[in-house]
Structure 1
């Protein structure tokens, strides 16, 4: 499956009033190399194993495969991950025909808030809420795999 998404910085937390879900997420990387990122995630009471390929030239698209796994297995595999487990709270906000996933980071990435929107095509139009700031889609510093090894607080 090809994932097409755009990423934006977020100005403030006014999005929270429109959020329809809020989940704590812990995620780590068994491999954080761009050609094959292998991620372990615990979201709420569910576990996930995800493999992502390298982004295309625009940074908008890349291969993604995800499988739900038992949360206990995810907890055990998280212990095998590279250093720098990501700790964040994800809020989801519906706007028009799309859902924004807004990640509020904690720990070493405290102060960073990123919104992502998945699209059907790279040219698809979408509504931009007032709380969106600069687009960072093609800035690798804002990839979670980068943040796990290079925390926002150290920039």
Structure 2
């Protein structure tokens, strides 16, 4: 009987790993500001992070998100709120190799110990030649309607 739960946990871990293939495992922290002072543990913060689109060289996204502090936040047990904003920019020549799938996950970050994830997905507006990035939070049972969007025009002759 002990092997059944272990197999289920292993299967769940494999599914989670497969779901995050192609998405950056981490973002580079650019900076943060404290929003709420906590007597014990770190303060609540807004964190600004940057990540490059893994399938579109030349695009970097900047993500600001809430990070819960306190004792639970300090040990990784707190659930972060669904508040996030995104701004994506062309930082070099854009090269799209192959076809982009609309709704591809380009970034994921767990925002609670279990079941809540902050995600960035990409869409290609072919009519306007624009890449659209959407950040939102989801949960296995119920997600949040809070979201933010950014668009990057694909310039043919990009100059720094």
Q: Which structure has more RCO (C-alpha within 8 Å, separation ≥ 6)? A: 1
TM-score after normalising by structure 1:
0.24
| Greater Rg over alpha carbons, structure | 2
With normalisation by structure 2, the TM-score equals 0.24
